[in-house]
Structure 1
Amino acid sequence: MARFISRLLPRRFRPVRVEIPVVRLHGAIMSGGGQFRPTLSLASVAAVLDKAFADKEAPAVAISINSPGGSPVQSRLIFRRIRDLAEEKNKKVHVFVEDVAASGGYMIAVAGDEIIADPSSIVGSIGVVSASFGFTELIKKIGVERRVYTAGRNKVALDPFQPEKKTDIEHLKSLQLEVHETFIDLVKARRGAKLADDPDLFTGLFWSGTKAQSLGLIDGLGDMRSHLRREYGPKATLKLVQPQRGLLGWRTPPAVGLHNGDALAQAAAGATEGLLSAMEEKALWSRYGL
C-alpha cells in the first residue's frame, strides 16, 4: 500500500529508496524433492524467480546461494532461467555466496553479473562426480540370490549387486567428461578474461572465497546488505521473495480428498523420501566439511 501511495505523489516528493528483491537458493540440487525436505530444482524455484524479476521498479535482483551442488541438469536449468529473466526484464543480477557455492551451486552462481562471497565461503569444485556402493560380497554373506531379466545387454550397467565391468566404467567416464566440458564452457563464457590461468581451475578443486577471488571465480568479498547499499545508496532495502506455502508451512499444500489410509500411506512415503533425500544431501555437504 505504501508503494502505491508513493506513486501518487509527484516524483520530487517521493522518498528516495531502492528496493531489491532477494531470492534464497539454499540446499542440494535435485529433481523432485518433497514436502518434508525441499530441494533445489527448476520446478521448486521457477515461481519465486519469476516473482522477483517481475518487480518493475527494482533495478536488480539479488540471489543468495548456499549449495553444495547436485544434479547438473537442474543446475543448468536454474542458471538458464535466471539469465533468461535477467535479459527479458533488463535487470542486473547480484549473486552472494554464503557457506558454499560448489559444483552445481557454482554453476548457478555464474548466472550473476557479479559474484560476491565471504572470505571463508567455499567456492568452485568445477567437476563431475558419480558415487554408489557395491553389494556383491554382502549378498553372498547373507545368502541372497540376485535375479535380473532384461531385454538389452546393457540394461543392468553399473548394477551395484553385480561385479563392476570395465566397459560400464569407461562409458560412465565418457559421459562425465561430456558433462564436465559443458560445465567448463559455461564458466568460461560467463567469467571470460576474469579467470586466472591456473591448471587446477577445472579439476574439481574448491577454494576459500579469498582464493576464489584471486582465481577470478568471484568478483569480490563482502555481504549482501553492505554491498547493495554501496551499489544503490544507503537507503536501499532488501525484500525477501519467498515461495508460497500451504498448510503446516509446506511449500505445496498436502493432497486433499484422500481417505485416512491413503493419507497415511502418502505421509509414510513422503517421510521415507525425505530420509533418503536427507542422506544424499548430507553426503554432498560433507564433501566440503559442512
Structure 2
Amino acid sequence: MNEDSTPQSSTEPARPSSGWDRELLEKLLLEALVEQRKARRWSLAFRVFLVAAIGLGFILAFKPLAQGGLTAPSKAHTAVVDVIGTIAEGGEIDADTIIEGLREAAEAKGVKGIVLRMNTPGGSPVQSAYVYDEIRRIKKEHPALPIYAVVSDLCASGGYYIASATDRIFVNPASIVGSIGVIMNGFGFVGTLEKLGVERRVMTAGDHKAILDPFGPVDPAEKQHVQQLLNAVHQQFIAAVKAGRGDRLKDRPEIFSGLVWTGAEGIELGLVDAVGELHQVAETVIGAKEIVNYSHRETLLDRVIRQLGTSVETALTKLATSSPRL
C-alpha cells in the first residue's frame, strides 16, 4: 500500500476555543448572575413590603388597646397632660411629648379645659422653655380655653418654669414649689490624682476647650465666664415667670433665689394660686367632670413600632444600594 494513503492518527489534540466563544460564555454567565440578583432583590422587596404591611395592620389593630382603649369623647371633658419625671430631651419626658399632648387636647372636640398634672423636679431649661412658649401660643389661638397646672408632690425649677405659663396653678398645702434658679455642678479630682501618682495628659486646640475639666484646677476667667452664662439663663427664667405670673407675685427677692416652699407658702408668695387637686379642678373650676388623658409616652408597642420602622428602612437601603458583583 502506498505510504501516502496511510490513515492519520485520531489522537491529535483539540483546538482551543476561539476568543469570541469565551466572551460569549462570560457574557451569558454575567447575565445569568444579574438575573439571579434581580430575582433576589425582588424577593427581598416583597418580604420587606409584607413585613411593613403586617406591621401597619398590627399598629392599626392594637395601638388603641395599648393606649388604654381611650378615644377622646366629643362631649364635654377635661383634658389632662402629664408632666411627671425629669424634663430632658429623650428622657422620661421632653418638650416633644408634652407639646404633642397639648396640641391634641387643644384641637379636640369637647375639651373645656386643659390640666397639666405636674410632679417634676425640673430639668432642661431649653425643653422647659419650649413647653412654656407652646402654652402661651395655645392661649393666644384659643383664648377661651383655660389651661391650668395641678401639682401633686413637686413642681420645681424647669417644672415651675412650665407651670408659670398656665392661667392658674393649684397645689396641695404640702406640695414643694419654686427653685427658680440655674445650676451646673461637678467634682474636682486634682488632689486625688496627685495622691495616686497619676499623670494627667490633655491636649486642646483653643485656650478654654478643657473648661471645667474635673482633673485640672479651676481657672478664674473660666469660672467667671460660666457664672455669666448661668446668670443669663437665670434672667431668662425670671423674665418668663414674671410674664406668666404678673402682679400675683409678691415683691420678694428670695422668690428668685433658688429656694423652695410648701404649697401653702407658695400661695402667700404668689407663686401659686390655690389649693386643689385634679378631679376637683376638673369638676368645679373647669366644669367638666369627665377626664381624658392626652399624655404621650413611649410604650412597649411604640418601641416595637420604632424598631420595626428602623428594620424596614435598613432593608430598603440595602435593597436600593445593592448591585451585582463578581
Q: Secondary structure at the match of 1:101?
A: strand
CA deviations over 1:139-167 (Å, ceiling 9, x no partner): 33444332222111011111111111111
Give the alignment of 1:153-232 within 5 angstroms: 153-232=207-286
The answer to whether the 8 A contact 1:62-1:94 is kept is yes
Which of 20, 24, 32 lines up with 2:82 in the alignment?
A: 24
Q: Identify the residue that residue 101 of structure 2 maps to in structure 1.
A: 48
Question: How far did residue 19 of structure 1 move?
Answer: 0.4
Question: How far did residue 89 of structure 1 move?
Answer: 3.4
1:101 paired to 2:155: yes
Question: How far did residue 250 of structure 1 move?
Answer: 4.8
The answer to whether the 8 A contact 2:165-2:241 is kept is no
CA deviations over 1:33-62 (Å, ceiling 9, x no partner): 2xxxxx222133232222222213212111
RMSD of aligned residue pairs (Cα, Å): 2.6
Give the alignment of 1:1-290 within 5 angstroms: 18-33=76-91, 39-90=92-143, 91-233=145-287, 236-243=289-296, 245-247=298-300, 250=303, 253-254=306-307, 256-257=310-311
Paired letter, 1:28 = T
**Residues in 2 aligned to 1:27 and 1:47: alpha-carbon distance in whole angstroms:** 17
Count of paired positions: 242
Q: Secondary structure at the match of 1:95?
A: strand
Q: Identify the residue that residue 281 of structure 1 maps to in structure 2.
A: none
Question: For structure 1, which segment, 43-52 or 219-228, has the greater mean C-alpha deviation from structure 2 after superposition?
Answer: 43-52
Q: Secondary structure at the match of 1:154?
A: coil
Structure 2: unaligned runs, 5 residues or longer: 1-69, 313-326
- In structure 2, the CA distance between the partners of 1:137 and 1:214, relative to structure 1 (3 Å rule), is same
Question: How far did residue 138 of structure 1 move?
Answer: 2.6
The structure number with the bigger radius of gyration is 2
**Residues in 2 aligned to 1:131 and 1:217: alpha-carbon distance in whole angstroms:** 26
Paired letter, 2:249 = L
Paired letter, 2:90 = G
Question: How far did residue 67 of structure 1 move?
Answer: 1.0
- In structure 2, the CA distance between the partners of 1:166 and 1:216, relative to structure 1 (3 Å rule), is same
Question: How far did residue 115 of structure 1 move?
Answer: 0.5
Structure 1: unaligned runs, 5 residues or longer: 8-16, 34-38, 259-290
**Residues in 1 aligned to 2:156 and 2:181: alpha-carbon distance in whole angstroms:** 9
**Residues in 2 aligned to 1:156 and 1:252: alpha-carbon distance in whole angstroms:** 41
Question: For structure 1, which segment, 107-116 or 142-151, has the greater mean C-alpha deviation from structure 2 after superposition?
Answer: 142-151
- In structure 2, the CA distance between the partners of 1:122 and 1:58, relative to structure 1 (3 Å rule), is same
Question: How far did residue 85 of structure 1 move?
Answer: 2.2
**Residues in 2 aligned to 1:232 and 1:218: alpha-carbon distance in whole angstroms:** 17
Q: Secondary structure at the match of 1:20?
A: strand
The answer to whether the 8 A contact 1:98-1:118 is kept is yes
Q: Secondary structure at the match of 1:25?
A: strand
**Residues in 1 aligned to 2:297 and 2:93: alpha-carbon distance in whole angstroms:** 15
Paired letter, 1:68 = P
Identity %: 37
**Residues in 2 aligned to 1:186 and 1:141: alpha-carbon distance in whole angstroms:** 47
- In structure 2, the CA distance between the partners of 1:246 and 1:232, relative to structure 1 (3 Å rule), is closer
Question: How far did residue 92 of structure 1 move?
Answer: 1.2
**Residues in 2 aligned to 1:203 and 1:225: alpha-carbon distance in whole angstroms:** 33
